[in-house]
Amino acid sequence: MKRTLLTGNGAAAWGARLAAVDYIPAFPITPQTEILETLAYWVDNGDLDTRLVTLESEHSMITAAGSSAATGVRTFTATSSQGLLHGMEMIYTVAGWRVPFVMVNVSRGLAAPLTLESDHNDIMAARDSGCLQLHCATCQEVLDSILMAYRLAEHPEIRLPVIVNLDGFYLSYTREPVAIPDDDASRTFVGEFDSGSIHFKAGAPLSHASAVLGGSTYSYFRYSQHLAAQRGLSVYEEIAEEFARTFGRRHDAVEGYRHEDAEYLFLMIGSFATKGKEAVNSLRDAGWKIGLIRPHMLRPFPVERIYSLARGKKAIAVIDQNISMGKGGVLHTELASALYGKPGAPPILASFIGGLGGRDLPYEELFEIAKTLRDSAAAGATPPPRLLYTETELLEMRKLQAIAGVRIPFEEVHHD
Amino acid sequence: MTETAFQRQKDLPKSHLLSAGTPMCAGCGGLEAIHIAYDVLGENTIFVNAAGCMTLLSVYPFTPFRGSWLYTAMGAAPAGAQGVRDALDILMDKGRIEVADDLDVVVLTGDGSGYGMGISATSGTIDRCLDYLYIVYDNEGYGNTGQQYSAATPHAARTATSRCAYGHKGFKKDLFSILAANGAAYVATAIGSEPLDLAQKIEKAKSISGPRFIITLAPCPTGWDFDPKETMTIGKLAVRTGVWPLKEFTDGKVSHNKTFSKLLPVETYLEQQGRFRHLFEPQKKEAVLRDIQNSINRYWHEVATI
């Protein structure tokens, strides 16, 4: 094992390298491209015995990832944002093929308007696809999750693609100290690729992904896929346990931070959760009983794990770095469905949306969210959902709009 | 073509490898071509399919294929072939399968995918010199959805989305030239009604490595509106009138396999199909027919002068 500074993209490339992948269908997109470039450099140098092919689109890239996994090789790929959506038809399709491979998504906001910076609407669009999802908060977790993701994807009871998600810029381009596991230990942990019953070769004819007629046949396969995805939680917990024994690092399906005696909780995913933890530390210093829970696994949704951590709390703030237009935060909805009607479920489930398109989530806002939780719990009423945006931001926005020729309402800037 | 196992019609395989009982329409010109292609290719073949009529060949739990099949999506079949081909090569390189376990990777799509939605993925495989065969069955429209016009629909044909008095205002895309210009190792046109020519082309394509394409015109009784028993006749007329030139592109050159000192008038081909009936009834549209004939004449004039 060696410890070095790696970006999230570098950590992702190391994950693929240590998993001894056979095949990498690729396509560049910001902020993911460094993963592809790093792997291509290793392949060219002979450090990695892997075939890397750049396709002409993510739609083709994900198709090739699925069909290579179906033919019997360990496959890795990576994308982001528009690329993920361009390939979305195939994300659903290859999950239905029940083929195991690992894809990294470097989260970036979706157009329009076009942006390069991070939020989670891209990965949320893949939520219902059948691909399992692991969401990372640190560069170390990116590397470790990829190793665990191969075990999860290839497990005979699961056999589904796994997406490992990391935030663009905040992780992709940020250097953090990362322990790189030994080659041998990693390979022993991940094991040999076994494509199971799905492989194309002469003398073993196989019709795969055929059409079906009728809702019963269709439903049977769809339910099977759902049940396989649900088995992902218990299988993941076994894998994470073995990972902790082997490498000394534990990555629970749901991380709890200073939550045990807490009355209030933040629920966050991804890299902003590390900032959430710092806010918890400050609030604890000021005497607040507050903690944080962070689902590392988002599909399958670890309902029981979240319930056990949330049970008995006075209020939870779900901070969504995504927005379901016309509804609100996706995680807020998911959490409500996981907790509703259960004994001891927190009576207050507040929704906050922030961090869209790379927008920061400053500590002041996290403190304000904590105050809202406390006030709401005291009043016994869930507050309306909040779209986080400051007056300063609005003022800056108005300056841009003035340049763009938008007429600014007099009342807004003129305060008597 | 000097070395061929198919000198005469009687050299063609006597029984078909593809089973009977598929849900294709009676008289399907596409299926006719696939029968011959599969007989020559043999069962160590994986067909990678895109959405189209032939998707219904393999409906769970049945398949007419002795070999393998992978359905992908409408725009994705060449990329599916990329993953399978690369994976087979990796498995052989790493000694995880024997060379004898290898498969011929064959993409099978209609014109909707081949001329349109999948053309970017197709071009990508040529850029990457992928070693595979792509068979297009071109029935000149989105046949599986009821024959709306596609990029392969010929000028003036009536389709479900060009019902006006004139028919389709666009012109058929020259996919053959596009693939050749892109740098394909082999491109050929063929048709099921000329089985010897088709078998020879499949055989030749099988002997070449790199991206190879065979575009088969697929007379379509339901989409073109003719009696299923006329499929062979209409196919032969497509060749005899010069509408569907049988040709090959290899080693940078285009050569025509069947040339005629005198072509039959195109009207003999058009008048047999309901999709062109509006050119003859209620009154004959002489100008349109003349334009169609002229474009055919111009093509063959250029062929003769090259």
Residue range B252-302, pLDDT digits in tens: 999 999 999 999 999 999 999 999 999 999 999 999 999 999 999 999 999
Lowest mean pLDDT, pick from A198-212, A283-297, B211-225:
A198-212
Chain A partners of B42 at a C-beta cutoff of 8 Å? Answer: none
Query: Quick check: do A2-247 and A256-391 share a fold?
Result: yes
Nearest residue of B to residue A61 by CA position?
B79
| 3-state class percentages of chain A: helix first, strand second, coil last, to nearest 5 | 45, 20, 40
CB contact under 8 A, A23 and B91: no
The answer as to CATH 3.40.50.970 being correct for domain B9-305 is yes
Which H or E run includes A162?
strand A162-167
Q: How far apart are CA B86 and CA B81, in angstroms?
A: 8
Is it the case that residue A221 has pLDDT exceeding 80?
Answer: yes
Average pLDDT (A243-258) is 98
User: Residue B86: which of A68, A205, A217 has the nearest Cβ?
Assistant: A68
Beta strands in A7-155 (DSSP E): 23-26, 51-54, 76-79, 102-107, 132-135
CB contact under 8 A, B127 and A56: yes
Q: What is the pLDDT of residue B67?
A: 96
Q: Are B140 and B114 in contact (CB under 8 A)?
A: no
The CA-based angle A319-A33-B124, given to 5 degrees, is 120
Is it the case that residue A282 has pLDDT exceeding 60?
Answer: yes
CB contact under 8 A, B91 and A217: no
C-alpha distances out from residue A20 to A36, A51, B211, Å: 15, 11, 29
Strands A254-257 and A290-295 come out as antiparallel
Length of chain B: 306
Name the percent of chain B lying above pLDDT 90: 94
Which H or E run includes A298?
strand A297-299
Q: How far apart are CA B78 and CA B70, in angstroms?
A: 11
End-to-end CA distance of chain A: 65
Q: What is the pLDDT of residue B15?
A: 84
Average pLDDT (B147-170) is 96
CB contact under 8 A, A200 and B66: no
Q: How confident is the model at residue A413 (pLDDT cuts 50, 70, 90)?
A: low
CB contact under 8 A, B86 and A89: no
Q: Cβ of B148: how many Cβ atoms within 10 Å?
A: 16
Comparison of pLDDT for A412 and B301, the residue scoring more:
B301
pLDDT digits (tens, 9 = 90+) for B229-245: 999 999 999 999 999 99
| Sequence-distant (≥ 6) Cβ neighbours of residue B203 within 8 angstroms | B4, B5, B6, B40
For chain A, the residues whose C-beta falls within 8 A of a C-beta of chain B are: 22-23, 25, 49, 51, 53, 55-57, 59-61, 63-73, 75, 89-90, 93, 200-213, 217
CATH code of the domain occupying A2-247: 3.40.50.970
Scan for tokens 């599916």, then name that residue. B80
Is it the case that residue B1 has pLDDT exceeding 60?
Answer: no
Q: Where are the domains of chain A?
A: 2-247, 256-391
Question: What is the complex's ipTM, to 2 decimals?
Answer: 0.96
Name the percent of chain A lying above pLDDT 70: 99
Q: How far apart are CA B242 and CA B265, in angstroms?
A: 9
pLDDT digits (tens, 9 = 90+) for A329-357: 999 999 999 999 999 999 999 999 999 99
CB contact under 8 A, B86 and A23: yes
Average pLDDT (B122-151) is 98
CATH code of the domain occupying A256-391: 3.40.50.920
Q: What is the pTM of this model?
A: 0.97
Q: Which of A48, A50, A56, A58 to mutate to test the interface with B (most CBs of B within 10 A)?
A: A56
Q: Which of A58, A62, A68, A93 to mutate to test the interface with B (most CBs of B within 10 A)?
A: A68
Is it the case that residue A1 has pLDDT exceeding 80?
Answer: no
What does pLDDT average to over chain A?
96
Q: Cβ of A39: how many Cβ atoms within 10 Å?
A: 24
Is it the case that residue B43 has pLDDT exceeding 70?
Answer: yes
User: Residue B80: which of A67, A73, A203 has the nearest Cβ?
Assistant: A67
What burial class does residue B210 get, using C-beta atoms within 10 Å of its C-beta: 0-12 exposed, 13-18 middle, 19+ buried? middle
Q: How far apart are CA B235 and CA B247, in angstroms?
A: 15
Q: How confident is the model at residue B304 (pLDDT cuts 50, 70, 90)?
A: confident
Residue B76: alpha-carbon gap to chain centroid: 18
Average pLDDT (A363-384) is 98
Q: Which of B66, B90, B105 to mutate to test the interface with A (most CBs of A within 10 A)?
A: B90
Average pLDDT (A228-232) is 98
Partnered with residue A257 across adjacent β-strands are A292
Q: Cβ of B155: how many Cβ atoms within 10 Å?
A: 15
Length of chain A: 416
Q: Where are the domains of chain B?
A: 9-305
What does pLDDT average to over chain B?
96
pLDDT digits (tens, 9 = 90+) for B8-21: 989 998 889 999 88
CB contact under 8 A, A211 and B60: yes
Q: What is the pLDDT of residue A407?
A: 85
User: Residue A59: which of B58, B76, B88 has the nearest Cβ?
Assistant: B76
A321 in helix, strand or coil?
A: coil
Chain B partners of A64 at a C-beta cutoff of 8 Å? Answer: 79-80, 82-83, 86
What burial class does residue A193 get, using C-beta atoms within 10 Å of its C-beta: 0-12 exposed, 13-18 middle, 19+ buried? buried
Distance from the B225 Cα atom to the nearest Cα atom in chain A, whole angstroms: 27
Q: How confident is the model at residue A52 (pLDDT cuts 50, 70, 90)?
A: very high
Distance from the A61 Cα atom to the nearest Cα atom in chain B, whole angstroms: 7
pLDDT digits (tens, 9 = 90+) for A115-139: 999 999 999 999 999 999 999 999 9
Scored b (16 or more CB within 10 A) or e, A348-371 reads: bbbbbbbbbbbbebeeebbeebbe
Strand order in the sheet with B186-191: A207-208, B68-71, B45-49, B104-110, B132-138, B211-217, B186-191, B247-250, B253-256
Q: Are A209 and A93 in contact (CB under 8 A)?
A: yes
Q: What is the pLDDT of residue A176?
A: 98
